[in-house]
Amino acid sequence: MNTLKLIVLALLASCCSSHTTSNMKHRKNTDGIITDSLIKTHADSLKLIELNTAIANDSFPNTHSILMMKDGILFYENYFQGCDQNNGKRLGLVNHGLNTLHDCRSITKTVVSACIGITIKMGLIPSVEEPVKNYFPEYVKYFEGEKSKITIRDLLTMTSGLKWNEHTSYANPFNSEIQMNLRKNPVKYVLKQKLAFSPGSYWNYSGGNTQVLAAIIEKVSGKKIDVFANENLFNHLGINQVEWKTLLFQHSLPSAASGLRLTSKEMLSIGSLCVNDGFFNGIQILDTSWVENSLKNAIKRNTLKKIKPGGYGYQFWNYNEMVNGKCYYIVEAKGNGGNSILICKELNLIAVVTAGNYNKFDLMNNPLKIFTEYVIPAVISKKG
């Protein structure tokens, strides 16, 4: 091995966690995640050095962690110092690490979606084609006319058609999610909204849709979303550092749209469940068909300024991205601030990125760019 290569590997070992060093033995951690070296996974160490340099130069500002998993092996795990928040409360400069809880923001929506899949697997909900009105007889007057056709699938794919404006700043009191969070009865607030589009016909991002999904889970299971998720999802994934924030006014109700806080490795476990068709450590948590439907493109997203075009599944964003002359299908559980679980099933590849760039929606150097310009090239390269 030439001198330059030795220097590169030494630099990589020094700036990354121990999971990237070449003498790391293939092992399974107590959280069920297998770790091994870059050499074992044939990842291009030079490409990852480029990424580390880009972060050091602040090309990807205020990045807090990056984890990469290929073929079930965690081969890169790196944490950084940066300013952060806890549900909007400034924390100042934080030394992020293995056990640091981090805002998931809208990754929370993806977790709620998985819980809907679990209720269907348990037989508590017949299917995603169930009309939403069936679960809210107390609000029957709000389901007149075409609104009665709204299904669980429509909520999952953000196509309920209900009037909702979440395309403005979350600092704006007229943002629909902020309005919902301030209500004594947030679900009622969502369901009483007028219909702006025919159900299933038009994508419009709405945390209200997800809050209604959580209410349906509570209706059929008798448990709030945080308790249900702990018992039926997180416990199976070895996730035990959960913090789930409540709504601004209704403090007994977990925020289904954005309230979850997890460690970066716990987010990786959620991605692993999706890549492995609903299985984790040999236990089937989600039906394979549910995972397939969750990740596939159910609706084309309407074009929005500063948002990359693509599609949407069951609370997952999706894209077709060209990398080194080839098109890859990528799905993303995406949270405000640059917090993402990115998946390319074709490559059996997952990356988790956390950051503290909250409400900076025009930031182009984001997790998707890290995934397409560094992570995928690193694992498809013949170098290593």
Residue 31: predicted pLDDT? 64
Nearest to 243 by CA among 100, 341, 84: 100
Is 306 inside a domain boundary?
Answer: no
Is 72 inside a domain boundary?
Answer: yes
**Claim to verify: residue 147 and residue 289 sit in the same structural domain:** yes
If you search the block for the tokens 């599944």, which residue do you land on?
313
**Claim to verify: residue 227 and residue 327 sit in the same structural domain:** no
Read off the CATH number of the domain in which 282 is found.
Answer: 3.40.710.10
Is 182 inside a domain boundary?
Answer: yes
Q: Where are the beta strands (DSSP E) in 63-195?
A: 63-70, 73-79, 81-86, 89-95, 102-103
**Claim to verify: residue 347 and residue 282 sit in the same structural domain:** no
Per-residue pLDDT of the chain (384 residues; tens, 9 = 90+): 343 333 344 444 444 433 333 233 445 555 667 776 566 667 888 999 999 999 999 999 999 999 999 999 999 999 999 999 999 999 999 999 999 999 999 999 999 999 999 999 999 999 999 999 999 999 999 999 999 999 999 999 999 999 999 988 888 889 999 999 999 999 999 999 999 999 999 999 999 999 999 999 999 999 999 999 999 999 999 999 899 999 988 778 999 999 999 999 999 999 999 999 999 999 999 999 999 999 999 999 987 656 788 999 999 999 999 999 999 999 999 999 999 999 999 999 999 999 999 999 889 999 999 999 999 999 998 544
Is 268 inside a domain boundary?
Answer: no
pTM over 0.85: yes
**Claim to verify: residue 178 and residue 43 sit in the same structural domain:** no
Is 337 inside a domain boundary?
Answer: yes
Is 68 inside a domain boundary?
Answer: yes
C-alpha distance from residue 225 to each of 66, 153, 283, 300, 327 (Å): 28, 18, 21, 28, 37
Identity of the amino acid at 334: K
**Claim to verify: residue 216 and residue 358 sit in the same structural domain:** no
Range of the domain at 356: 3-100+316-380
**Claim to verify: residue 157 and residue 167 sit in the same structural domain:** yes
Is 282 inside a domain boundary?
Answer: yes
**Claim to verify: residue 111 and residue 78 sit in the same structural domain:** no
**Claim to verify: residue 259 and residue 328 sit in the same structural domain:** no
Is 270 inside a domain boundary?
Answer: no
Domain count, the chain: 2
Two structure tokens written together for 88: 């909007």
Residue 305: predicted pLDDT? 59
**Claim to verify: residue 328 and residue 194 sit in the same structural domain:** no
**Claim to verify: residue 119 and residue 239 sit in the same structural domain:** yes
**Claim to verify: residue 50 and residue 110 sit in the same structural domain:** no
**Claim to verify: residue 96 and residue 106 sit in the same structural domain:** no
